[in-house]
Chains A and B, each alone.
Chain A
Amino acid sequence: MSTDMQPEVERRLRAALTARAELVQPEHLAPLAPTTAGRPRWQSPWVLLATAAAVLLVLGVVFQGLSRDPRSDDVAPRPDERVELELPTDIGRDWKTDEYTTPARLDLDGDGTREKVDFLGEPSKEFDGRTRLQTTLSSTGEEAYGIAELGTTIATSALPPVDADGDGDQELVLLRDEAYTGPEQGSYPLVFDLRDGLLVQAGVEDPELLVRGEVTVPGTETEFFEMVHVHDYWIEDGSLHSSRSVGTYASGNMTLFAPRASVVDAWTWELGDDGVLRHGDPGCLVKSRDSTRACGPDPADTPTSLPVERASYVGVGEQVTFGDDRTGFSARIEPGADPSLVVDGFGRVVEQALGVPEPQVGTTQPTSVFVDGASVVVTSASDPTVIQVLTQDDDRLVLMDPVGEIGLASSDDQRTWLTAYGAVLSAIDAGDDRWTLWQWMMVSRTEIAALPWGTVCFDDVDAPTSVRAC
């Protein structure tokens, strides 16, 4: 967008927000009642009932739900906290199934014969309409249907069925993938139960615990990363389970710094008579990409094995070659009063003044920072605090600007080094012989920022291969 347009956008935004907000006038609000210490009027069950009735009118659907007992310390207005069930309307009979969609087969009515459930997509330009679920029940020959919003009508298929209410029939499980619908990532399962001839989507109590993906811990957002819990769900032996990592991990720059195996809180979900999925008490599991096991005593995450061995360097007058003849490049430090770095590769020879005393260039390319061209790490043989990362931008070398939560330079309480495997790492002294380990990544064409891996211990921080779990 042109920045010239921004003042106009800002003006329109301000005006629209004001206009929208002012549509809400005092007379539109539920009556303000005199407050009493015992039960203000806005807490009255009649007000709640009236509100619920109004919502019923608006939506034209049936609500079932739960309410909790009033608490003696409730003195302010409360919302209706019931979980809502919505019954489908019989629409979409003429919608079509697409060639990539696979019907589901499961025993919805519990008669021992599996029904075939077809998925018909609502036509729309973006293929993001609703999906009609329809089947003929083997026990009665009657039709049953439901409506789902899956984010896409393309290639619909079901997850394995569950019997979450333990009544002997099966519930249909479909996947709602947020990747199709907006900026949020992740997915969650939708469970459909046969109730009075309709496939009714189950409500979910604590829906935030039944998702797959990364969920940000509020208050941890920084410019370049945030801390997340990793959530997952799965179906095993006809039961629906979900989990949330106990630990939090840095996520940013399209990278998740998760350990090899995580300790998770895990829940099993059961479907109540009221059509609402609820989880039981959490159990403890250790989950990795390809296995799940019960926790032992004192469970802990298994860290990713991160090679931390230091790279070697060459000095003035020496040359180092990276990669092969076709995609590689060479780097050398030209002697002189102010030694310069010369990079030869990708069809260009580029020279860059360094301003570094006794410069030396790493013999490993910092590939974790930049690979679409030449990139090198420069340090000083006489000044251990100096470390620079340079990347090629056409016919120039860019001295990358460290931004974000930590600085790049080494100091008494920070070590920064290039590893023999092409990562630029920083260890920050966290006290008690513990160090937080950070990895540097490119965040813009001229900037690098570090994301935290976690806490480690070193027998000798200046010999990084002595790294160990604390």
Chain B
Amino acid sequence: MSVRAAGLGIGTEPPVDITELYAAHRLPLVRLAVLLVDDLASAEDVVQDAFAALARRPDAVKDPSKALAYLRVSVVNTARSALRRRRTARAYSPPHDLSPPSPEDTAVLAEEHREVIEALQQLAPRQREVLVLRYWSNLSEADIAQTLQISQGTVKSTASRALVALEKAMKATTSSGKGER
């Protein structure tokens, strides 16, 4: 592998230690990705992609303290691409999943949380991203703007509209759920 020296440092040490980053941040990044792409396998792929991208350009992050922000941007962008690819590639989804459940599948989300997550999945990708970064990652509007490469004003308006859409979707989910029973 070829690595470049960081900043004014001397020698061949990479700017960031990817192995250390991987160990420290993989789980929270997979959790972020799973909130964006819905399933664990895709989420792990997304995070692997993000680390791969960083590994290919180790000098992209000169300041190690910025590495997590870089990875977060990468995860959000890769998750969006994954959703787009999935939408394009899917031709058929089996009516019943007959495969054995994964360990993660066996942990069941409480009904009240499931309604919210299902409603969240119905939002536009940008709306979902803003809500996840704001209410799970607890990022400031400025940080969300930087992560999504949009203005703070757009973050604010997107969040506002997303909450309205989420509430509508939750009501629809609740009423359709009742209708099915």
Contacts and interface: CB of A to CB of B under 8 A. Distances in A.
B120 interface: yes
B10 interface: no
A18 interface: yes
B113 A78 contact: no
A42 to B, nearest CB: 7
Contacts of B35: 17, 20-21
Nearest to A14: B135
Interface in B55-78: 55-56, 77
B18 A221 contact: no
B105 to A, nearest CB: 9
Most B-side CB within 10 Å, residue of A17, A19, A72, A80: A17
B67 to A, nearest CB: 12
Interface residues of A, number: 77
A190 B149 contact: no
B135 A219 contact: no
A21 B31 contact: yes
B94 A60 contact: yes
A58 B131 CA distance: 29
B142 interface: no
Contact of A12 (B27, B41, B45, B116): B116
Interface stretch (A29-37, A136-144, A231-239, A428-436): A29-37
Contacts of A149: 90-92
Contact of A91 (B19, B47, B55, B95): B95
Contacts of B98: 60
Contact of A182 (B90, B115, B124): B124
Contacts of A32: 22-23, 26
A147 B2 CA distance: 47
A19 B35 CA distance: 10
A83 B90 CA distance: 11
Contacts of A37: 1
A37 B85 CA distance: 31
B116 A221 contact: no
A147 B1 contact: no
A16 B54 contact: no
B122 to A, nearest CB: 8
A58 B48 contact: no
A196 to B, nearest CB: 15
A46 to B, nearest CB: 15
A147 B150 CA distance: 39
Nearest to A207: B88
Contacts of B32: 21
A268 to B, nearest CB: 18
Contacts of A91: 95
Given A24-B30, A59-B94, A201-B91, A76 B41 contact: no
A54 interface: yes
A357 B166 CA distance: 49
Interface stretch (A2-10, A325-333, A409-417): A2-10
A88 B112 CA distance: 35
B45 A19 contact: no
B176 to A, nearest CB: 9
Interface in A215-249: 218-219, 221-223
Contacts of B27: 24, 26, 29
Interface in A198-221: 200-201, 203-204, 207-208, 210, 218-219, 221
Interface of A: 1, 5-6, 9-10, 12-30, 32, 35, 37-38, 40, 42, 51, 54-55, 57-61, 71-80, 83-84, 86-89, 91, 130, 146-149, 182-184, 188, 190, 200-201, 203-204, 207-208, 210, 218-219, 221-223
Given A23-B107, A60-B94, A73-B1, 15 more contacts: A1-B163, A13-B163, A16-B112, A21-B32, A24-B34, A24-B43, A28-B40, A73-B2, A76-B18, A76-B51, A77-B52, A79-B46, A147-B92, A204-B89, A219-B150
19 contacts: A1-B163, A1-B167, A14-B136, A17-B132, A17-B136, A20-B113, A20-B117, A23-B109, A28-B104, A32-B23, A58-B99, A58-B102, A61-B92, A74-B52, A75-B55, A76-B56, A78-B48, A221-B150, A221-B151
Interface of B: 1-2, 18-19, 22-23, 26-27, 30-32, 34-35, 40-41, 43-49, 51-52, 54-56, 77, 81, 84-85, 88-92, 94-95, 97-100, 102-104, 107, 109-110, 112-117, 120, 122-124, 131-132, 135-136, 149-151, 153-154, 157, 163-164, 166-168, 170
